[in-house]
Structure 1
Amino acid sequence: MDTNWITTPVTAGLLRGALDVERTEHGVLPHRLPAWARAQYADGQLAMAESQPSGVRLVFRSRATAVELDTLPTKRLYVGAPPRPDGLYDLLVDGRPAGQGSVVGGNTMTIDMTAGTAETRTGPPGTLRFTGLSDALKNIEIWLPHNETTELVALRTDAPVEPARDPGRRVWLHHGSSISHGSDAASPTSIWPALAASLGGVELVNLGLGGSALLDPFTARTMRDTPADLISVKIGINLVNADLMRLRAFTPAVHGFLDTVREGHPTTPLLVVSPILCPIHEDTPGPSAPDFTNLGAGQLRFVAMGDPAERSAGKLTLGVIRDELARIVEQRAAEDPNLHYLDGRDLYGESDAAELPLPDQLHPDAATHRRIGERFARLVFDAPGAFTDRSGSTD
């Protein structure tokens, strides 16, 4: 028998984790940076990262037993490498995993890493379908692919949809690099910030931006203006990757970033997290460069191109960054008791690297994302961590 579908417009009110929603020719495109911030620097890497909906989910209540979502994904292909798998969508029903799916078709962005070029080819939307759900009134969440730009075209259900109620949970705003973005996690709900948020019982707004945790002032202003009960900033690896600045610029930039965040959130718990262990850059400056030797077999690795002797001239390594972040936080915490520091090696350190080495020398795999998320939840959300729930601790 044909399903009697009800089509519900996808609006910002049905989305969580997005800071902006752009109307497109096909539907809506969630963004994780607002339009004014995106306009301040036309960087292709940043544009790709912020439009990939890491941590963004479609949330509603319904008695629907079947749900369809038409989307227009943008897939990435790398010249010389095997095709990447389609992005995954995670379905949660009343907070519990209830299915996964992918959407075929869509646009294709072909990236030539050796030439530094990218070309996009348009394609048709596809359909994600979940069936066999109970007919009870329930909360339905569809977490969008963390690594695939996704335009939302149409939402169909076999029962009416209503907005989900405010869960009353604290909102955690997090900023970091591709590791926080999701890198090689298994699915959108298993990126380490999503896992930590689930374990900590909070609502995630994820500003993990692959290749783009660069102390940009527009990101700081975005965080300043975003409502949040808890804030964390994970700083370091991208500054070394990009060989972006020397110590002389780094220290004032960190102070400026934190100053800006504090303008909007003067007493919110604010956690500064230093980089996890990354052996190639512990004592060797950037930049990082891709090693294409085994790209045809699907194996991309990175190498450090800097000279350790250049540290004396102020070039940044992860060791230098950790020492300076710890010093900055200690200095500021004397007048800011809600400012905290976490050494990233407590999330992934030497013993972890021996057991679960970074496959490409930079990014953790799915098992390591789980370990980092579980450790973050234990160290930060559990007492006496920086995000321990203390009634009345809001701005």
Structure 2
Amino acid sequence: MHTEHDWISTPITADILRGALDLEHTAHGVLPHRLPAWARAQSTDGQLAMAEAQPSGVRLAFRTRATAVELDALPTKRVYVGAPPRPEGLYDLLVDGRPAGQASVSGGNTLTIDMTTGSAEHRPGPAGTLRFTELPDGAKDIEIWLPHNETTELVALRTDAPIEPVPDRGRKVWLHHGSSISHGSDAASPTTTWPALAASLGGVELINLGLAGSALLDPFTARTLRDTPADLISVKMGINVVNADLMRLRAFGPAVHGFLDTIREGHPTAPLLVVSPVLCPIHEDTPGPSAPDFSALGEGRLGFVAMGEPEETASGKLTLGVIRDELARIVKQRVAEDPNLYYLDGRDLYGEDDSAELPLPDQIHPDAATHRRMGERFAELAFTADGAFAGRGA
């Protein structure tokens, strides 16, 4: 199998992995996690467990003269009953920061999810091998970004020359937390999620704690943000609280204050940007919960509908409009004591005009073109002029 190269195997350890907060040793290799073990132990939610183990923003990073790289990996691929097949998870190769290839790993485990019953069936499968060859000669920085939406156990790394960790380039670390949109749902590839694009444009190192369906103001997530070293921090909150119909207005405001208080315990003066939800027409004025659109499933596509009633806001149920007003109010109240706190209306990233041009295909998640637009907009609004992160990049 490896006759054409003299392969060197290198253990996969934290010093050549970026964007993961924990590495779990499994029977097959190592599984990157985006929440630490103590935080995972405080939740029994299967959605969160799946989301945090999908390695959005996680990448192997090393310096080498190698011209060939092989990675054995064991993916877990999702199948939704009645919906069209999901695309294969993509690995993005960067050489000295520039796109240099893409590949997928075949085989792997299968998780079959029935959205009509909420059941899930896990079937084990074999690991596969990813191969990048004919890389340029000479010393270079290599990054292999793991599929943002596919749980990935890393089994073995081989190169035809020794590798070493990438030297510190002095780039700032941007720590971001958000929902499935920040996680990268329906982006084209791991380097083209909107946070990855914004980080590239801003010249910063990304730690992406976008957790699909799980940006729920959980205290353990706030403590994780508090304890993670970072120079720039953003939290995008609101849509999942509505999706899950998790709390009423009375609970939401104090929970936001507590979330921000906890982050500030570990990062007292770092720029902290609060981002409200992007436009989502089904929930602008209609509370949650969100539910699968079974008529769409009957037509072989995924979609979502809002199950609440607009008049329920009178009893404290949350809509995106209510949440934006509350977040803006909270930031305005706190900024007198916290001059490094900022607010960004999510509709500046994706608003009415964008919705007319690039509607959300399943009523909640943006497509690949919208991710690109949002990444470019965030970079412009946060990293330039008088933005929250301006002048704070590389």
- Which amino acid is 2:178 matched to? G
Deviation at 1:112, TM superposition (A): 0.7
Hey, what does 1:104 align to over in structure 2? 106
Which of the numbers 300, 309, 312 marks the counterpart of 2:311?
309
Distance in 2 between residues matched to 1:381 and 1:109, nearest whole Å: 39
Distance in 2 between residues matched to 1:225 and 1:381, nearest whole Å: 24
Which of the numbers 134, 137, 160 marks the counterpart of 2:136?
134
- Which amino acid is 2:254 matched to? P
Deviation at 1:79, TM superposition (A): 1.2
Hey, what does 2:276 align to over in structure 1? 274
Evaluate the alpha carbon distance shift between residue 66 and residue 83 of structure 1 in structure 2; reply closer, same or farther with a 3 A threshold: same
Distance in 1 between residues matched to 2:300 and 2:370, nearest whole Å: 20
User: In the alignment, is the contact (CA less than 8 A) between 1:82 and 1:297 conserved in 2?
Assistant: no
With structure 2 as the length reference, what TM-score do the two structures score?
0.98
User: In the alignment, is the contact (CA less than 8 A) between 1:82 and 1:296 conserved in 2?
Assistant: no
Deviation at 1:389, TM superposition (A): 1.9
Q: Which moved more, 1:293-302 or 1:110-119?
A: 293-302
Distance in 2 between residues matched to 1:337 and 1:320, nearest whole Å: 25
Distance in 2 between residues matched to 1:37 and 1:208, nearest whole Å: 15
User: In the alignment, is the contact (CA less than 8 A) between 2:204 and 2:393 conserved in 1?
Assistant: no
Distance in 1 between residues matched to 2:183 and 2:111, nearest whole Å: 19
Hey, what does 1:220 align to over in structure 2? 222
Residue segments in structure 1 that go unaligned for 5+ positions in a row: none
Which of the numbers 244, 252, 263 marks the counterpart of 2:254?
252
Evaluate the alpha carbon distance shift between residue 115 and residue 391 of structure 1 in structure 2; reply closer, same or farther with a 3 A threshold: closer
Hey, what does 1:186 align to over in structure 2? 188
SS at match of 1:69: strand
Hey, what does 1:329 align to over in structure 2? 331
Alignment of 1:1-395 (within 5 A): 2-295=4-297, 297-390=299-392
User: In the alignment, is the contact (CA less than 8 A) between 1:229 and 1:268 conserved in 2?
Assistant: yes
1:204-234 deviations in Å (ceiling 9; x for gaps)? 0000000000000000000000000000000
Distance in 2 between residues matched to 1:252 and 1:390, nearest whole Å: 30
With structure 1 as the length reference, what TM-score do the two structures score?
0.98
- Which amino acid is 2:177 matched to? H
- Which amino acid is 1:73 matched to? P
Q: Among all aligned residue pairs of Structure 1 and Structure 2, give the percentage whose two residues are the same amino acid.
A: 81
Evaluate the alpha carbon distance shift between residue 160 and residue 301 of structure 1 in structure 2; reply closer, same or farther with a 3 A threshold: same
Q: Which moved more, 1:293-302 or 1:281-290?
A: 293-302
- Which amino acid is 1:162 matched to? E
Distance in 2 between residues matched to 1:237 and 1:335, nearest whole Å: 27
1:230-284 deviations in Å (ceiling 9; x for gaps)? 0000010000000000000000000000000000000000000000000000000
SS at match of 2:292: strand
1:21-40 deviations in Å (ceiling 9; x for gaps)? 00010110000000000000
1:139-182 deviations in Å (ceiling 9; x for gaps)? 00000000000000000011111111112100000000000000
Distance in 1 between residues matched to 2:152 and 2:106, nearest whole Å: 12
Distance in 1 between residues matched to 2:274 and 2:370, nearest whole Å: 21
- Which amino acid is 1:159 matched to? A
- Which amino acid is 1:319 matched to? G
Distance in 2 between residues matched to 1:292 and 1:204, nearest whole Å: 37
User: In the alignment, is the contact (CA less than 8 A) between 2:287 and 2:308 conserved in 1?
Assistant: yes
Deviation at 1:391, TM superposition (A): 9.3
Distance in 2 between residues matched to 1:174 and 1:48, nearest whole Å: 19
SS at match of 2:164: strand
SS at match of 2:295: coil
Deviation at 1:80, TM superposition (A): 1.5
- Which amino acid is 1:260 matched to? T
User: In the alignment, is the contact (CA less than 8 A) between 1:69 and 1:153 conserved in 2?
Assistant: yes
Distance in 2 between residues matched to 1:234 and 1:271, nearest whole Å: 8
SS at match of 1:293: helix
Distance in 2 between residues matched to 1:256 and 1:82, nearest whole Å: 41
1:279-337 deviations in Å (ceiling 9; x for gaps)? 00000000011112233654211111101001010000000000000000000001100
Deviation at 1:81, TM superposition (A): 2.0
SS at match of 2:263: helix
